[in-house]
Structure 1
Amino acid sequence: MGAEARVRNVTLREDLAQRLDAVLEPSGRSTAAAIEEAIELYVRDREHELALIDEAIASLAEGKAHSAESIFAWMDSWGTADELPPPEPDVDLDGR
């Protein structure tokens, strides 16, 4: 059996409610299902962001950081065919 559910009331702006209705109509999906999916995606993304922040704080506590050059090179590659992975820390704060 699925997880226990909790009722929440959600108020949407009228324009957003109309847009939601328009995209749901062809599929026959319910508003509740779409809102639950949207919240699931939001929570997943936010949990991931928070985990990355925790990793960055831990890295700083260990004296490791990223140079501006490595961050900018990574950011400059976003959306290109040669997109780089996130850089590893390349600055040792303890050895300044």
Structure 2
Amino acid sequence: MQSHPLSLRLKPDVQARLQAEAEASEQTMTEIAATAIETYLESQAEKRLQLEQAIASADEGTFVSSKEMADWIASWGSENELPEPEPDIFSKPSRRA
């Protein structure tokens, strides 16, 4: 795969941290920066997809109640952690069988 040069300006402290990581990991600063950019772009694409799916569910009138969400979040890290809640509010007729 062909790559293209990219120039960017970093704050001195960020550049120092990048240099230290490059030395510690035996990679070049360019390799670390390219991986970081790729990871960021993949993360943003996933967030965008999740948002689009949430908007589609909302447009269908499908929601998880605030009580179910609060209960789920309150259980995080406990021995009895709850599974991700399923929608329990359907403001439009459901197409589910």
* TM > 0.5 fold call: yes
Quote the Cα distance in structure 1 between the aligned partners of 2:78 and 2:47. Answer: 23
Query: After superposition, what is the alpha-carbon deviation per residue over 1:18-46, rounded to whole angstroms, capped at 9, x for unaligned?
Result: 11111211332111100011111111111
Q: Tell me which residue corresponds to 1:43.
A: 41
TM-score, normalization: structure 1?
0.81
Alpha-carbon shift at residue 11 of structure 1 (Å): 1.1
User: What is the aligned residue count?
Assistant: 93
Could you tell me the percent identity over the aligned residues? Answer: 31
CA distance in 2, matches of 1:82, 1:49: 28
Hey, what's the Cα distance between the residues in 1 that align with 2:58 and 2:84? Answer: 16
**What is the CA-CA distance between 1:87 and the residue it aligns to?**
2.1
Unaligned runs of 5+ in 1: none
Cα 1:23/1:80, change in 2 over 3 Å: farther
2:65 aligned with 1:67? yes
CA distance in 1, matches of 2:46, 2:79: 24
Q: Could you say if the C-alpha distance between residues 11 and 84 of structure 1 is closer, same or farther in structure 2, counting changes exceeding 3 Å?
A: farther
User: Secondary structure at 2:25's aligned position in 1?
Assistant: coil
**Residue in structure 2 matching 1:19, options 13, 17, 20:** 17
**Separation (CA, whole Å) in 2 of partners of 1:60 and 1:74:** 20
Which stretch shows the higher mean deviation, 9-18 or 70-79? 70-79
Q: 1:39 to 1:80 in 2, by over 3 A?
A: farther
**How far does residue 5 in structure 1 lie from its aligned partner after superposition?**
2.0
Note the C-alpha offset of 1:75: 2.1
Which residue of the partner structure matches residue 90 of structure 1?
A: 88
Instruction: Structure 2: give runs of 5+ residues left out of the alignment.
Output: none
